[in-house]
C-alpha cells in the first residue's frame, strides 16, 4: 500500500472519535484495501458555500463525527478571523436524517468546548427556522445539519453568516483552510451556562408573523393535501395551515413522520418524477384541489393542482410567477425589490419592469439571492429548483411561508371563481409563453462525475453552433463572469429570440444540469404557443443530451 496513504489514514484514525469508524478504517488498512481507502481519502468533502454534503461513511470523503468536528473547528476559526463576536451565539439545528442528531451533538459540544454561546433548536426542525433565529437573535452564525433533498445515504452541514443568509466566498475558503489544519477538539457540556435551547416563544413569533401575512380572509373551503416527504416540516406546517384558516387539510399519512430512510421515495425531492405519486393518490381520494409538498428540511415548496380529472405538477418557475403575481403590488408600494437566478425564467424580470419594481438576476443559489437587494428590502425571490422567499424575516428560501402564500392565493382565486391555472394563463397572456425545462444527468461515482464536468468544459470551450435546429447566437463562459456576476462553473448559450440554455454542474448533488427556456413568437392562441414551445424544447433537449451524455 502507498506509504503516504497509510500515514494519512493513521493520522485520521488518531483523531476520529467514533469507534465504529476507527474500526472500519483499521480493517481496511489491515486488508490492504487501497482502492477503498483512496475512495474515502483522495476525494475529501470540502467546505463550500453550500457547506458540506455527502454520504455518511468513515474518512474525509464522508459525513461522520470527525468531519463534523473538523468543520466546526473551522467555523470557530473563521468567526475569529473575521472578528465576529462569538458571545452573540451560534444557532444550531438539525433535520430528521440518519446521523443528524449525532452530528448536532458534535457541533454543540465543539462550540461549547471553545467558549462559544450556543442556541440549540429544541428538536429536529425545518431549516428556515434556523435562518429565522439567526436574524431574530442577532446571532454570530447558524449551523444546520441537513442534506436537504439529497438521497437517503447523504447528510450535510450548512452554515449561515450573521445576516442570516448562507455564506458566500471567501468565507467558505476560510472555513476550509482552518478545517484542514484542525486538531483535536475539546468538548463542552450542555450544562454549561453558555448553552440554551431556542425558546418556544421565538418559534411562535415566526408562526404568528407568517400567519399574519398569509391567511384565508374567512374560513377557507380550499381542500389541500400536504406531504412533508418524510421530513421535519409536518408538525410545523399543519399548525400553520390551521392557524391561517385552512381547516380542510389532508396529510399523506405514510410520509408524515420524519424517516431518514425515505421508504416511499426514490429521491426525497419534490422535483423528481414520481415524488408526488402518493400525494396525488391521497388528494384524489380526498377530493383536494391542490397538493402542497415540502422537501425533507422544508426549505423547498412543490405543488400540484387539479387539471380536469388529472393532476398537473407545477414547475418551480410557475410557482414563482404565481407568488410574484400576488405579491408584486405590495412590493412596489413598499419600495422593495425582487430577484431570481440566471437559470430561472426571465418572465419575472418582465413582470418587475411592468410594475416599476427593482429587479436583480443572481448566480444560482439563495446565498446570492438573499443579498441581492443591497440596502433595500428583498420582497420576493425565487429559483426554479422550488426555492422561494416571500418574507424578509428569513434570509433564505422557506418552503413553509411560501406554502401559506400559495394556499392564500389559491383560496382567494377560488373565492372569485378562478384558479391557479387560470392565473398562469393570465400571466403568460400578458408577458408571453416562457416554457422552462431542464435536463439532469446524474453521476454514479466520482469518475463519471469528472467525465460529466469535462463535458461541461467541452461545451464551454467549443459551444455548438445549433441546438435542436435553433442557431446558437451567443455563448458566455460563466467562469469569467457574466453580465456583472461573479464567476461560476458553466456556460450560457443564447438562442436569439427563441430563448437560452444554461449548462452547469450542480452545487449540491453529483449531477450536471442544463436549464432551457423557450420563448416562442406571440402568434396564435396560448395553447398553440405552448405546443410550439414544447416541440422546440424537445428538440433542444435531445441535442443537449447528446452533448452531455458520457
Cell numbers for 511: 449531477
Residue located via cell numbers 398537473: 312
Number of residues that this document lists for the chain: 550
Contacts of 147 (CB under 8 A, 6+ apart): 53, 63, 95, 97, 154, 155, 156
Whether residue 170 has a cis bond before it, omega within 30° of 0: yes
Q: Could you give the angle at the alpha carbon of 223 between the alpha carbons of 384 and 233, nearest 5°? A: 55
- Comparing CA positions, the residue from 277, 301, 264 lying closest to residue 148 is 301
In whole angstroms, give the CA distance from residue 373 to residue 339: 8
Expressed in angstroms, the distance from the first to the final Cα of the chain is: 31
Q: Which residues pair with 302 in a beta bridge?
A: 293
Alpha helices in 227-313 (DSSP H): 234-243, 277-286
Q: Which residues pair with 273 in a beta bridge?
A: none
Contacts of 211 (CB under 8 A, 6+ apart): 240, 243, 244, 404
Alpha helices in 114-199 (DSSP H): 127-137, 171-180
Cell numbers for 9: 489514514
Q: Which residues are catalytic?
A: 148
SS (H, E, C) 485-496: ECCCCCEEEECH
Provide the 3-class DSSP secondary structure of residue 524: coil
Q: What are phi and psi of 209, to 5 degrees?
A: -65, -50
In whole angstroms, give the CA distance from residue 116 to residue 118: 6
In the chain, the largest separation of any two C-alpha atoms, in whole Å, equals 74
Cell numbers for 460: 464551454
Cell numbers for 356: 416599476
- Comparing CA positions, the residue from 53, 62, 127 lying closest to residue 295 is 127
Q: Could you give the angle at the alpha carbon of 101 between the alpha carbons of 98 and 107, nearest 5°? A: 125
Determine contact, residues 39/61, Cβ cutoff 8 Å.
yes
Determine contact, residues 228/234, Cβ cutoff 8 Å.
yes
Burial class (CB in 10 A: 0-12, 13-18, 19+), 264: middle
Cell numbers for 172: 467558505
In whole angstroms, give the CA distance from residue 21 to residue 16: 7
Q: Are strands 358-362 and 337-341 parallel, antiparallel or unpaired?
A: parallel
Amino acid at each position: 500500500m502507498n506509504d503516504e496513504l497509510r500515514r494519512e489514514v493513521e493520522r485520521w484514525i488518531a483523531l476520529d472519535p467514533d469507534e465504529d469508524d476507527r474500526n472500519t478504517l483499521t480493517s481496511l488498512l489491515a486488508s490492504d484495501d487501497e482502492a477503498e481507502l483512496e475512495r474515502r481519502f483522495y476525494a475529501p468533502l470540502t467546505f463550500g458555500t453550500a457547506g458540506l454534503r455527502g454520504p455518511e461513511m468513515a474518512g474525509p470523503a464522508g459525513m461522520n463525527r470527525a468531519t463534523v468536528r473538523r468543520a466546526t473547528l473551522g467555523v470557530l476559526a473563521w468567526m475569529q478571523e473575521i472578528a465576529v463576536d462569538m458571545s452573540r451565539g451560534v444557532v444550531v439545528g438539525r433535520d430528521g436524517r440518519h446521523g443528524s442528531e449525532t452530528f448536532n451533538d458534535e457541533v454543540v459540544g465543539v462550540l461549547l468546548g471553545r467558549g462559544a454561546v450556543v442556541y440549540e433548536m429544541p428538536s429536529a426542525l425545518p431549516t428556515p427556522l434556523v435562518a429565522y433565529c439567526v436574524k431574530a437573535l442577532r446571532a454570530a452564525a447558524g449551523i444546520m445539519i441537513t442534506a436537504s433533498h439529497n438521497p437517503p445515504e447523504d447528510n450535510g452541514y450548512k452554515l449561515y453568516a450573521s445576516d442570516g443568509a448562507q455564506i458566500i466566498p471567501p468565507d467558505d475558503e476560510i472555513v476550509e483552510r482552518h478545517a484542514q489544519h484542525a486538531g483535536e477538539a475539546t468538548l463542552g457540556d450542555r450544562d454549561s451556562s453558555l448553552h440554551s435551547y431556542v425558546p418556544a416563544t421565538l418559534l411562535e413569533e415566526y408562526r404568528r408573523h407568517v400567519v399574519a401575512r398569509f391567511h384565508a380572509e374567512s374560513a377557507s373551503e380550499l381542500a389541500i393535501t400536504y406531504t412533508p416527504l418524510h421530513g421535519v416540516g409536518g408538525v410545523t406546517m399543519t399548525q400553520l395551515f390551521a392557524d391561517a384558516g385552512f381547516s380542510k387539510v389532508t396529510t399523506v399519512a405514510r410520509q408524515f413522520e420524519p424517516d431518514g430512510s425515505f421508504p416511499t421515495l426514490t429521491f426525497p425531492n419534490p422535483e423528481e418524477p414520481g415524488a408526488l405519486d402518493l400525494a396525488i393518490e391521497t388528494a384524489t381520494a380526498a377530493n383536494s384541489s391542490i397538493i402542497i409538498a415540502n422537501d425533507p428540511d422544508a426549505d423547498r415548496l412543490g405543488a400540484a393542482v387539479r387539471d380536469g380529472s388529472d393532476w398537473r405538477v407545477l414547475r418551480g418557475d410557475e410557482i414563482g410567477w404565481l407568488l410574484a403575481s400576488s405579491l408584486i403590488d405590495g412590493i412596489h408600494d413598499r419600495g422593495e425589490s425582487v430577484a431570481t437566478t440566471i437559470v430561472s425564467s426571465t418572465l419575472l424580470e418582465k413582470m418587475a419592469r411592468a410594475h416599476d419594481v427593482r429587479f436583480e438576476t443572481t448566480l444560482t443559489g439563495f446565498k446570492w439571492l438573499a443579498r441581492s437587494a443591497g440596502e433595500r428590502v428583498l420582497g420576493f425571490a425565487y429559483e426554479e429548483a422550488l426555492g422561494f422567499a416571500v418574507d424578509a424575516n428569513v434570509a433564505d428560501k422557506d418552503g413553509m411561508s411560501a406554502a401559506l402564500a400559495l394556499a392564500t392565493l389559491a383560496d382567494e382565486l377560488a373565492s372569485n371563481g378562478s384558479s391557479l391555472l387560470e392565473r398562469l394563463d393570465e400571466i403568460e397572456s400578458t408577458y408571453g409563453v416562457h416554457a422552462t425545462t431542464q435536463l439532469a444527468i446524474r453521476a454514479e461515482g466520482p469518475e463519471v462525475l469528472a467525465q460529466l464536468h469535462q463535458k461541461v468544459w467541452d461545451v464551454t470551450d467549443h459551444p455548438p453552433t445549433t441546438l435542436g435546429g435553433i442557431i446558437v447566437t451567443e455563448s458566455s463562459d460563466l467562469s469569467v463572469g457574466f453580465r456583472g456576476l461573479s464567476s461560476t462553473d458553466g456556460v450560457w448559450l443564447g438562442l436569439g429570440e427563441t430563448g437560452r440554455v444554461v449548462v452547469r454542474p450542480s452545487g449540491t448533488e453529483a449531477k450536471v444540469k442544463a436549464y432551457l427556456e423557450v420563448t416562442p413568437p406571440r402568434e396564435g392562441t396560448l395553447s398553440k404557443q405552448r405546443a410550439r414551445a414544447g416541440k422546440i424544447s424537445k428538440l433542444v433537449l435531445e441535442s443537449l443530451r447528446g452533448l452531455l451524455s458520457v
